[in-house]
Amino acid sequence: MRNTAAVKSDYDKNATRYDKVRFGTSGGQYVNDKEQEFVARMIKGSTVLEIGTATGRFAASLTKAGSEYTGVDISWNMLRRTRDCTNYAAAVVQMDACQLGFRSYFEYVLCIRTFHFLPKPVDALQGMLTALRPSGKCIVTFETDNLLRRFLLFFGRGHSEQYYYKISDVEELFLKAGFKIERSGSVMRIPVTLYRRCPRRFLWILKRSEGLWPWPMHEYVLGLK
C-alpha cells in the first residue's frame, strides 16, 4: 500500500491525464456511463459529500441534478479540476479520507472506487457516519476479492496497491463503524480493464456478457445512519 504522501503525489502528477487513461476509450466511457447511472439511482438531489472526487465526474452530474455538493480529496490538483468542471458550483476541501471533520450535515456520503485505497477503513467510515444527518445514507463501492482476482495477482496481472474485499468484509466494517446495512450488490461484474482495452467493434460482446460473468469485480454497500 502507498502511504498518504505517495498517493497525494501520484494523483497531483496524473490529474491532467486521469480521464484519458480511464475513460478515453469507448469501453472506458461505457464504464463511466454505467457508474453514473448507478449513482443517479442511489442519490436524488439533496446534500452530498463525496470522498475521493478525482477529476469531478460525479460532482458535475450531481450539481447539474440539483445537489448541494461537497467533495474531499487528498490531491489539490484533483480538487481544482473538480471545482472547475462544475463552474465553481462544487465546494471542495483537501482532506485525508481517514480523518474527516464534518458534523451531521449531509444526507448522502458517496465513495466510488476510493474505499479500497484507504489504509484505515473503519476510521473513514466513522468519519462518514459523523458527517451524516440522522437517517443519512453512505454508499461505498470497492474492488472485489474473488478467485479470479487472486489468480491474476498471483501471476502478476494487475495492481495490488490496494485492498480487495468481499461484500461481507465491507458490511462488517460498516457495522463496526456504527451503520445499519440497507443493501449491497454489484455495480459491474466484468473487470473495468477489459472494458477499457476492448476494441470498439467487440464492446457489444462484453456488454452482453455482463450478467453472465461469474465473478463480480466492482461491488457496493449502502449503509444507513
Q: Which residue has the cell 453514473?
A: 36
What is the reported pLDDT for 181? 98
> The CATH number of the domain where 11 resides is what?
3.40.50.150
Residue 223 has pLDDT above 80, yes or no: yes
Rounded average pLDDT over 219-225: 98
Element (H, E) at 39: helix 26-42
- Kindly give the pairing relationship between strand 180-188 and strand 218-224: antiparallel
- Indicate the pTM of the whole model: 0.92
Rounded to 10 deg, the angle between the 57-64 and 76-85 helix axes is 30
Number of domains in the chain: 1
User: Residues with Cβ < 8 Å from 77, sequence gap 6 or more?
Assistant: 11, 12, 15, 16
Q: How far is CA 163 from CA 61, 108, 144, 181, 191, in A?
A: 28, 24, 9, 21, 16
CA 161 centroid distance within chain = 16
Residue 93 has pLDDT above 70, yes or no: yes
Mean pLDDT of the chain: 92
Q: How far apart are the first and last CA of the chain?
A: 30
Name the band, by pLDDT with cuts 50, 70 and 90, for residue 61: very high
Expressed as residue numbers, the domain containing 201 is 4-224
Contact 124, 115 (CB under 8 A): yes
Residue 90 has pLDDT above 70, yes or no: yes
In this predicted model, what pLDDT tens digit does every residue of 1-31 receive, in sequence order? Answer: 667 788 888 888 989 999 999 999 999 999 9
In this predicted model, what pLDDT tens digit does every residue of 76-87 receive, in sequence order? Answer: 999 999 999 999
What is the reported pLDDT for 96? 95
Which of 162, 220, 158, 223 has its CA nearest to residue 194? 158
